[in-house]
Amino acid sequence: MPVNSSAVPRKPSATQEARERIGLLRQRIAEFELIASGNLLRRTKVCGKPTCRCAQDERERHGPYWEWTRRERRRLVHRVVSSQEAARLAEAIRNGRAIRRLLARWERESIRIIDTQNDTT
């Protein structure tokens, strides 16, 4: 007995599945607001005065100071930021790293599509 082909659901092709995954990646990337690259460091400092509390006890150093380090036009750039800026930067740096991971996944899916199209030609 012949099977009604319209009743049997068709399995999506590998290309269609990859395109759907790319669509989901695009949606996730669009959800981010602030992004940044680099690192955020918490630093304490010794002032150099021999009578200062920081010279006697390492736990009494000045700070903390927040320093944002990143590459700009192939040069390493350092900037001291406030604790409020540091909190926003920490989130933006996390977002930037997450987006780079999502873009790497997008690239892998794109390669799958390209490879699949090359196999069919």
**Residue 59 is assigned to a structural domain of this protein:** yes
The answer to the question of residue 41 being in a domain is yes
Residues 6+ apart with CB under 8 A from 10: none
User: Does residue 90 form part of some domain?
Assistant: yes
Preceding peptide of 9 cis, ω within 30°:
no
State how many domains the chain has: 1
Q: What is the DSSP letter of 108?
A: H
Residue 7 lies in a domain: no
Question: Which range of residues forms the domain containing residue 94?
Answer: 14-120
Indicate the pTM of the whole model.
0.76
Query: Each residue of 35-54: pLDDT tens digit?
Result: 999 999 999 999 888 899 88
Q: What is the pLDDT of residues 82-95, one digit of tens each?
A: 999 999 999 999 99
Residue 79: inside a domain, yes or no? Answer: yes
- Residue 55 burial by CB count (10 A; 0-12/13-18/19+): exposed, middle or buried? middle
| Residue at 8 is within a domain | no
Residue 26 located in a structural domain = yes
